[in-house]
Structure 1
C-alpha cells in the first residue's frame, strides 16, 4: 500500500502510484480506467498502440458515466 505522500506525488506528476520499475504493480487488479486506456478515441495511447478495433463512442460514454457515478479513482 502506498503512503498519502506517494499518492500526492503521483497526482502532482500525473503519474500512477502503482507504476513501479517493472511496470504496473497491480496489473491483475487494475482499475477500469486502466483497462480501457488506449482502446477509445478519447483516451488514445501516447505511443500509438491500439487494438484492431477501438471501442465505439457510445460504449466509451457508458464507461465514463460508470466511472463518474461509481467514483472510481486512479489512486
Structure 2
C-alpha cells in the first residue's frame, strides 16, 4: 500500500459514491501492477462492474457485495 499514490478524502468519497476504485480512471487501473487485494475485488459484483465488461462466471451475491463495500468504506483510511 505504501507504494500507491495517496488520494484525497474527496477523491475517496467520490469513488465510494460511484462504487469504483479510487485508482480507476477512464483509461483503466492506474496501479494495476501494485493493486492490493481489496482492489482485486472490483469487477466481481454487479454494483462494482469492470469498466471493460469483464467479469467472473458467477458474480458475488448482493449480501457479499454489501459486505465488501462496507469493508472498503471502513478501512479506506488505513489502506490508502
Instruction: State the TM bucket, normalised to the shorter chain.
Output: 0.5 to 0.7
Higher relative contact order (CA 8 A, sep 6+): 2
| TM-score between the two structures when normalised by the length of structure 1 | 0.58
Query: Which of 31, 37, 40 is the equivalent residue of 2:42?
Result: 37
Work out the CA distance in 1 between the residues paired with 2:71 and 2:5: 27
1:10-68 CA deviation, whole Å, 9 max, x = no partner? x5xx8729826xxx2314xx141x11111100011121100000011000101111222
Q: 1:31 to 1:59 in 2, by over 3 A?
A: same
Higher Cα radius of gyration: 1
* Unmatched 5+ stretches in structure 2: 16-21
2:20 is the counterpart of 1:16: no
2:34 is the counterpart of 1:26: yes
Count of residue correspondences: 63
* Unmatched 5+ stretches in structure 1: none
| TM-score between the two structures when normalised by the length of structure 2 | 0.55
